[in-house]
Amino acid sequence: MILVLIGFAALVLAVGGPLWLIMGRIHRRAESARVSPVGALFLAFVGYLFGTVAANFGAFSLISLYSGRNLSSLLIFPTLLVGSCAGSIVGSGVGYIFIWARTTHDPDFEPLDRSLLSRRSTRRES
């Protein structure tokens, strides 16, 4: 019974931990840039769901492909743990990439300031 509870706690921590950490980073970055975090948080949650399911499906497909039809009971829990952790990190990371791209500013691709343009034109005239 204790091992089952420890395994369940490890699975919840491995699956929910990355989502919780990445959503915290999204919220802090959006707050510092003064933009709404709702879209990025929603994208992180949807990416988390799809990433977890896809990673587990891929892991079980590979295991069943290489080990035949008989899956060992010792392989099921580590496969769920590693697949869920990898899928949740990659899937929820999409939301952070979205907020990062939205709040990062590159001076090469931003419109020029009008006061800077007027200063350049007055230097050329004199």
pLDDT in tens, 50-93: 988 888 888 888 777 777 667 677 777 787 788 888 888 888 89
Cβ atoms < 10 Å from Cβ of 48: 26
- Report the 10 Å Cβ neighbour count for 15: 20
State the alpha helices, DSSP H only, in the chain: 2-33, 38-67, 73-103, 114-125
- 4-54 pLDDT per residue, tens: 888 778 777 777 888 889 999 999 999 988 888 998 999 999 998 898 888
